[in-house]
Amino acid sequence: MAYSAVIETDELQQKRNSAIRGAFFTEFVDMFDIYLPTVILTPALAYFEPKQMPAGLEGILTSLVFITTLLGRPVGAVVFGAIGDKIGRRKTTISAVTGFSIITLLIALIPGHSTIGISSYVILVILRFLDGVCLGGGYTGSHPLALEYSEKSKRGFVGAFILAAFPLAYILITLLGMASFAIFPVAGPTSPYDVWGWRIPFIIGSIIAAWLVLYYLRNVPESEVWESSEKTKVPLFSAFKGANGRSFIQVFVMMNGFWLTQNIVTLVLPTTILGTFLGMSGFPLTLTLLIAYAVLFISYIVAGLIGQRIGRRKFFIIAGPAIAILGTALLAIILSGKEMSLGLMIFVVCVFAAIATSPWGVIVTYINERFSTGVRASGFGLGFSVSVIIPSFYAFFMDWLGHLMPYRFSSLVLLFIGALLGTIGAIAGPETKDVDFTEVG
């Protein structure tokens, strides 16, 4: 009997580890694919676009490649979330990852504007949207699966570990971009990089995703918590009803705030603040971002462990005001730091990034704990992804604020508003660290 129990424990631990690794790899592949356009494709967009365009139109076309991917993720969360609650987390993850493996490969095969005209750009945008749909489905299945296998006392670490794949993916794609730029000259739509050099990272991304599909097929079992739960007939609708509906509204408010603060760090800081306002470029900018993302890998895990110890809700209630006060102050220092030494700038950016994104070490675990098993994939997908839509228009908000104040300070206002929304949303919700995943509600 004792020997049998040991074997059963070992088997459960093996399943648990496989599911957690699978979610980590899914997050990694997801973020790798998300940042492919910003790092790899941006220098080659002239290959897809008409030769002469107004500057405003060029900016819109460039932003659409990234925005359509972000907007596709909520659609994927809705579709695959319902599938994940209906047929299982594992099958959903395999389907979604297969989808973005194929689509990423198709993107690598798109002919340029000189061959098929504006259809080249249209195909690119459509495929990036469909890629976003599949990406939204990947983590909608894999993350609940991993957390349903996790021990209650370790869910905080597991959620943080999964999301820590995001900075690692950014580091890899940045290094891959640097290597690509060094090997293939970037010099207009007929240069080696624009014609075919950018395709190699996309092919690599497709291969990594295909490997992930095989990993799930061979190693990751279905969630035993989901298999033993009572199935919901229409999980998508149930996610908006009763206790789950109230959970969604609360999570939606909180996540709108924390997506906004995240966008300031990951999107506004590298390009608008460091690049445009402070004039950083090349090696200094790349070095700053690489070190900052390495720090984020550690800070996410630390945040998850703290949240496990003191509670998710309490962590958010502390982190929100810290972002509003310390984060805003540090961002103001960065904005006025044109004469700052590179070493000091890197230090301030790292501290700012760690504080401003600290909630993300707790978010994956928290949102999964807010929904019952029958709608957990739908609830997590909706709460995590639908809330990204409004913050995705941060550039428009900054432009509007620019009519009321100096444009360079608009990011400070958005950071403060995001922190305030995140705090209000967290206060409105309960503590979740002791939630039993086998219970309903």
Looking at CATH, the fold of the domain delimited by 233-441 is given as Growth Hormone; Chain: A; (1.20.1250)
Q: Do domains 1-220 and 233-441 have the same CATH topology?
A: yes
Model confidence, pTM: 0.89
Q: Given this model, what pLDDT does residue 94 score?
A: 95
- Please name which of 388, 408, 416, 410 lies closest in space to residue 322, comparing C-alpha atoms: 416
The answer to whether the beta carbons of residues 349 and 330 sit under 8 Å apart is: no
Inter-CA distances, 94 with 20, 69, 218, 269, Å: 15, 20, 11, 34
Q: Given this model, what pLDDT does residue 267 score?
A: 85
CATH class of the domain at 1-220? mainly alpha
> pLDDT (tens digit, 0 to 9) for every residue of the chain, 441 residues total?
454 445 557 788 898 999 999 999 999 998 888 888 777 887 787 788 777 665 555 566 666 777 788 788 889 988 898 888 888 999 999 999 999 999 999 999 999 888 888 888 889 989 999 998 998 888 899 999 999 999 999 999 999 999 999 999 999 988 888 888 888 877 767 778 888 888 898 999 999 999 999 999 999 999 988 888 776 666 666 667 778 889 999 999 999 999 999 999 988 898 889 988 888 888 898 899 999 999 999 999 999 999 999 999 999 999 999 999 999 999 999 999 888 999 999 999 999 999 999 999 999 999 999 998 888 998 898 899 889 889 988 888 888 998 899 988 999 999 999 999 999 999 999 999 999 886 544
- Please name which of 307, 325, 37 lies closest in space to residue 177, comparing C-alpha atoms: 37
> Domain locations in the chain?
1-220, 233-441
Q: Given this model, what pLDDT does residue 48 score?
A: 82
Q: Given this model, what pLDDT does residue 59 score?
A: 61
